[in-house]
Amino acid sequence: MSQRRRIPVLLAAALLVGCETEPDSQEMAARAPSSQTFHQAVEAMLPSVVFIQIEARPVVAGGLFGPFPDELHEGIPDGGRLPAEGAGSGIIVSEDGYILTSDHVVQQADRVTVLLHDRRQFEARVVARDPSTDVAVVKIDGDDLPVARLGDSDDLELGDWVLALGSPLGLQFSVTAGVVSAVGRAIGILNNAQEGQQRTAPLEHFIQTDAAINPGNSGGPLVNLEGEVVGINTAIASPTGFFAGYGFAVPINLARRVAAQLIEHGYVRRAYLGLLLNNVNQADAEVYGLEAAQGAEVVSIESISPAAKAGVELGDVIVGIANKPVHSVSDLQAALATLEPGSTVHVDIVRYGQPVRVPVELGLIRSGVKPEPPPPAEGPTRVGFSLATESGRLVVAAVRPYSAAARAGVRAGQTIIAVNRHEVATVEDFVEAVNNGNRGVVSLVVEDPMIGRTIINFELRT
């Protein structure tokens, strides 16, 4: 009987303790971020977010463009080759127009156009890009541009609120919200290299989030509630190519270092050990005498490498470097990215149950691509289309795919009525009207076979 009497007393005590420690609704509301918190973060960041459009060189049908292949939309077949255009996002990181984005957004780009949140539009050039981290830098010519505030991705904790800003599926300057689901995540997406000689030692240490990320978000910011960039959105885990629960972002601390080197050198200098590594599983932990299944297992050593010279052995498990703990291969890669090539650091190893500290002089590897100038476009370029005279009418004969004219609605078969508010009847009239008008834009009045008379305005390309 005494046992039966004690049980309800214990349960009641537990309930009373719970009641005393559980916060009331007002306290919970005070802790939760308000709509105003989200508004302020978005307002602080949105002016520095950009929409990036690219025109890409033709590629063989069926080729892949990178982690978000669906971001590049295939065009009309031409001799078995497809012209392409694509879109992504980015952030302005300097007042004079340097923009941080994803490598796969601009990887194939021949022409890059950047649209600011205030609707100003600029031609851009790719400064350099690093396929190993999926980071790239493009440049526009501007002054006093709004600059994104960069935070500290090392401060992120699981459950932190974050916002994903960008232009998913062409929906420009959109915002979604979620939380940090994981950090230090490696998903193997950068190992699928289309450019093997350019993608040196892929480095994945992603932030995982359930904020909705879709094609077009790539290169855009992952933002904390202080309005600071903590990551660059780069990939999604999805069987369909669209958001299915989780997205991934390059930590801003890594992206910022890579971008600075791409701007200064045109490539990235990274510290190098010369090892092939695996994450430790439970069987490894038992074989190597580890307390937990953590660390980076050495499964192969380059014969002439910094690690070989220092005496690292097959079967060693790296558990620390430069006084930083290593729980996974991704941790080791991220730590190496912060270290200076040529410096000597201590590598902490467990060698079949015995702790060993090995000094290693770090080697140097380079990664990154500085694009060559794009090849000259074939066919009509400045206005984006060619003309012919038919039965006394001036007619659009051909339009360059994905040109500004094509995007604005110029189509073969349309009759040109006026250019820059001047009626035209011949090619000479057309050229004179273009040259005498605003050199940056052209305004057409055309007779379209389908919809009748309409006006089309677009920017000229040189």
pLDDT at 456: 95
Q: Which residue has the higher pLDDT, 344 or 199?
A: 344
Neighbours of 132 (CB within 10 A): 25
- For residues 77-82, average pLDDT: 38
- Considering the segment(s) 31-266 as one domain, its CATH architecture is Beta Barrel (2.40)
- For residues 416-444, average pLDDT: 88
Mean pLDDT across the chain: 83
Mean pLDDT lowest for which of 72-76, 136-140, 341-345? 72-76
Residues classed as catalytic: 104, 134, 218
Residue from 93, 97, 85, 84 nearest 124 by CA: 97
pLDDT digits (tens, 9 = 90+) for 176-195: 999 999 999 888 888 654 44
pLDDT at 362 over 90: yes
pLDDT digits (tens, 9 = 90+) for 436-459: 877 678 999 999 999 999 999 988
pLDDT at 143: 92
Whole-prediction pTM: 0.75
pLDDT at 186: 86
By three-state DSSP, how is residue 334 classified? helix
Question: Within its chain, how far is the Cα of 243 from the centroid?
Answer: 15
Domain 269-367 is found in CATH 2.30.42.10: yes
pLDDT digits (tens, 9 = 90+) for 392-405: 899 999 888 767 88
Mean pLDDT lowest for which of 192-201, 292-301, 318-327, 348-357? 192-201
Q: How many helices (H) and strands (E) does the chain have?
A: 10, 27
The CA R_g of the chain, rounded to the nearest whole Å, is 28
Q: What is the DSSP track for 284-299?
A: HHHHHT-SSS-SEEEE
**pLDDT band for position 27 (cuts 50, 70, 90):** low
Q: What is the DSSP letter of 400?
A: -
Instruction: Determine the straight-line distance between the first and last CA of the chain, rounded to whole angstroms.
Output: 95
Contact 349/355 with Cβ under 8 angstroms? yes
Contacts of 6 (CB under 8 A, 6+ apart): none
Domain 385-459 is found in CATH 2.30.42.10: yes
CA atoms of 19 and 131, how far apart (whole Å): 54
CA atoms of 316 and 288, how far apart (whole Å): 8
pLDDT at 204 over 80: yes
To the nearest whole percent, how much of the chain has pLDDT over 70?
A: 82
**pLDDT band for position 16 (cuts 50, 70, 90):** very low
pLDDT at 165: 96
Strand partners, 444: 419, 456
CA atoms of 170 and 160, how far apart (whole Å): 27
Q: What is the DSSP track for 345-365?
A: EEEEEEETTEEEEEEEE-EEE
Q: Which pairs count as long-range contacts for 114-119, CB under 8 Å and 24+ apart, including other chains?
A: 114/50, 114/51, 114/52, 114/53, 114/90, 114/138, 114/140, 115/50, 115/51, 115/52, 115/53, 115/172, 116/47, 116/50, 116/145, 117/46, 117/47, 117/48, 117/49, 117/50, 117/173, 118/47
pLDDT at 282 over 70: yes
Where are the chain's structural domains?
Answer: 31-266, 269-367, 385-459
CA atoms of 40 and 49, how far apart (whole Å): 15
pLDDT at 77 over 80: no
Are 31-266 and 269-367 in the same CATH fold?
no
**pLDDT band for position 14 (cuts 50, 70, 90):** very low
